[in-house]
Structure 1
Amino acid sequence: MEAKKQLKYIIAVTLAVTSIFIVFLLFKSNQIMNNMNASETDPIKVLILSGDTLNDQSWGSLAYKGKLLVEEEYNAEVEVLGEIEISTEVSPTVEEYVAEGYELVIGHGREFSEPFYRIANQFKDTQFATLHGDYLENNLAVYTFNQNEIEVVAGMAAALKTETKKIGLIDAVDNEHSDWGFPKGIKKINKDIDLIYEVVPERTDKSTAKNVASEMIDNGVDVIYSKGNSYNQEVINYAKEKGIYVIGYLEDQSYMAKDAVLTSVLNNVPQAYMAIVKNYLNEDEMISEKRILDSNDGVYGLAPLGPMFSEEEISIMEDLTNQIIEY
């Protein structure tokens, strides 16, 4: 009898423990399902602001491509607004969208850095981030890319193809006195080559960029590196007309003038948006600092060399590139 009682006791305890374990599993499963359902019904809401148009080939179009990539990869609702007037529309636009539940606001360019800094404390529960810029706050981060290595290679390509020993660079931001790659690449090939540097800060100012290119060509420049995003097409078309070489920017721009474009410095800006959203979703990674994205983040590269390069020049480029860039 005593053995039967012990057996019944053991069975009762086993059933009780099993029941508790099953209830626990059901509870955890319900939690997981609820979280999954919540993530399906409550996407992260992201606002991207650009001062540029969202048309093809524009700087602003890269913000729209970033939206598509983020929505494809994450459970996210992304709104992109173009042609934002920096001085008057940033604060009211942010206020409107924050009231609608937007929690991450990204500025498409350094021009949003200072305006975001001014309003960040008004929206303490909102995370701000800018592509490029210098201003930081508790809820304001900066993401930028260090494309120094790639521009060294682009400088070498330009130096190999200049016959006049004069290369022009049209920039959208004044980097003339910064430590950057393009001039270094030129000097690796020939220290006697002159670099003529000009800044056209308004990315959509096609007429000014064309006039600057015209002056450079009149002064003997036979290779131009144009970094103006929207005005690149104007510069490339003009260079083709004048029979000189160019280096494109942001995307492979050889389709505009196959026999004129030496190569292009590629900026995969949509990948920067992926990095921002990824860090935001992992809260410990979204901190107020300037983050330098690199080739591991997939944000830059160099387009293939054009048909104007000889086999010997391609070999020179490959050897020097392997010395500079760690793949």
Structure 2
Amino acid sequence: MNMLRRLGLAAVLLASTVTGAYAAPLKVALLVPGHANDGSFNQVAREAAEKLATDGEITFELREEMADPSKSEPVIRQYAAMGYDLIIGHGIELSEPILKIAPDFPKVHFAASGGPDLAGRLLGNVDGWTYDFGQQGYLGGFIAGKLGGVSTFGMVGGPELGFVKASHNGFKAGLKEGKPDAKVIEAYTGSFDDAQKAAEVTRGMVAQGAKLVWTSGDGIGNGVAAAASQEGALTIGVTGEAGGFAAKVNIVSVVLDMHPTYKAYVDDIKAGSFGKKFFVSGIGNKGLIMTKVNALGESLPADLDSQVEALIADLASGKKTLPNFFE
């Protein structure tokens, strides 16, 4: 799906409908599984909603720690009964409660998150979202391949799940484009949150010669950053401040930007075209973006931003395509 082109069409449709039922800001409930100040997955959802609120598109209420369905189901049902225009479940843990409750409230709009299989389960008042895990890894590898002075790279992941492995496959593919002879040391910790295990693995990789360690995880990034700082290595992929270590070791990360997707939800509701759409955040539609480069030790080309923009343009236009990184 070319999200940017679809967004442009939605904007045209919106121009003729804003005087209708949704002339006022939409009332939105945003549920996240963790804490919305985590500097990562949960925070990007909050920041996207805040931007829409600042722009006058929505008002919203945020509910945190909604990973347990027994806790989230009554909350979702309450917001629906109160007549909220849009209820967003940001996280795979919220998809089943939303799909269960949505049929009872056909006039309320719902947005669920999940894997690719969610696309076939959407309802007339439910949109779906995921992000391209392989592309996230690929862009990290693409950047790592531009890094001077490094020939051995570490890769630290959480559980050895399909989407995590896809991210790793993407990183290796992106790295190979710039450094076909690079040595890669890869490991999985078995957990998204075990920072201590991630630190141990990172120290082992540095001992084997890795001067840069990339991480595909969220919470484990804290351990990767701490160990890299102690061992004199650099990182790519650490999100948030990581206890203050990210500023010292992390060169750049590839992060989600939920604003394009949330804006599309709002535009489609106002245009009367919401429902059964599946959004995939990727490089080409700028749902996955590169953070500002933190110049640390090793060299990156001065025109890296331009190279990444060219990559985005080529993917958006179809000039360049990436393989399916899922095994």
* TM-score, normalised with respect to structure 1: 0.72
Separation in 1, partners of 2:26, 2:245: 38
Separation in 2, partners of 1:318, 1:118: 43
Separation in 2, partners of 1:58, 1:307: 22
State how 1:1-327 maps to structure 2 within 5 Å.
35=19, 39-40=23-24, 43-55=25-37, 57-133=39-115, 134-135=117-118, 136-138=121-123, 139-146=125-132, 151-159=137-145, 160=147, 163=150, 165-171=152-158, 174-175=162-163, 177-178=165-166, 181-188=170-177, 189-191=179-181, 193-198=183-188, 200-202=190-192, 204-217=193-206, 220-249=209-238, 256-258=245-247, 260-284=249-273, 286-294=274-282, 297-302=285-290, 303-304=292-293, 306-310=295-299, 314=301, 324-326=311-313
- Consecutive unaligned residues in structure 2, runs of 5 or more: 1-15, 315-327
Separation in 2, partners of 1:270, 1:64: 10
Is the 1:141–1:290 contact (alpha carbons within 8 Å) kept by the matching residues of 2? yes
Superimposed CA distance per residue, residues 86-120 of structure 1 (whole angstroms, 9 cap, x where no aligned partner): 23112111111112111311111222223322333
Letter in 1 for 2:183: I
Cα offset for 1:142? 1.4
Cα offset for 1:183? 1.2
Q: Relative to 1, partners in 2 of residues 1:305 and 1:85: Cα closer, same or farther, differing over 3 Å? A: closer
Separation in 1, partners of 2:84, 2:309: 44
Is the 2:39–2:239 contact (alpha carbons within 8 Å) kept by the matching residues of 1? no
Q: Relative to 1, partners in 2 of residues 1:149 and 1:91: Cα closer, same or farther, differing over 3 Å? A: closer
Superimposed CA distance per residue, residues 19-64 of structure 1 (whole angstroms, 9 cap, x where no aligned partner): xxxxxxxxxxxxx9x9589834xx4211111110122525322222
Is the 1:247–1:263 contact (alpha carbons within 8 Å) kept by the matching residues of 2? yes
Give the aligned CA root-mean-square deviation in angstroms: 3.7
Cα offset for 1:268? 1.9
**1:25 counterpart residue number:** none
Letter in 2 for 1:232: G
Letter in 2 for 1:194: V
Letter in 1 for 2:130: T
Cα offset for 1:266? 3.0
Alignment: residue pair count: 289
Is the 2:240–2:246 contact (alpha carbons within 8 Å) kept by the matching residues of 1? no
Is the 1:168–1:225 contact (alpha carbons within 8 Å) kept by the matching residues of 2? yes
* TM-score, normalised with respect to structure 2: 0.72
- Consecutive unaligned residues in structure 1, runs of 5 or more: 1-31
Q: Relative to 1, partners in 2 of residues 1:110 and 1:193: Cα closer, same or farther, differing over 3 Å? A: same
Q: Relative to 1, partners in 2 of residues 1:35 and 1:80: Cα closer, same or farther, differing over 3 Å? A: same
| Identity, % of aligned positions | 20
Separation in 2, partners of 1:163, 1:37: 57
Cα offset for 1:132? 4.3
87-96 vs 72-81, which moves further: 72-81
Bigger Rg over Cα: 1
DSSP 3-state at the match of 2:87: strand
DSSP 3-state at the match of 2:163: coil
DSSP 3-state at the match of 1:101: coil
Cα offset for 1:81? 0.3
DSSP 3-state at the match of 2:107: coil
Is the 1:156–1:185 contact (alpha carbons within 8 Å) kept by the matching residues of 2? yes
**1:22 counterpart residue number:** none
Q: Relative to 1, partners in 2 of residues 1:289 and 1:309: Cα closer, same or farther, differing over 3 Å? A: same
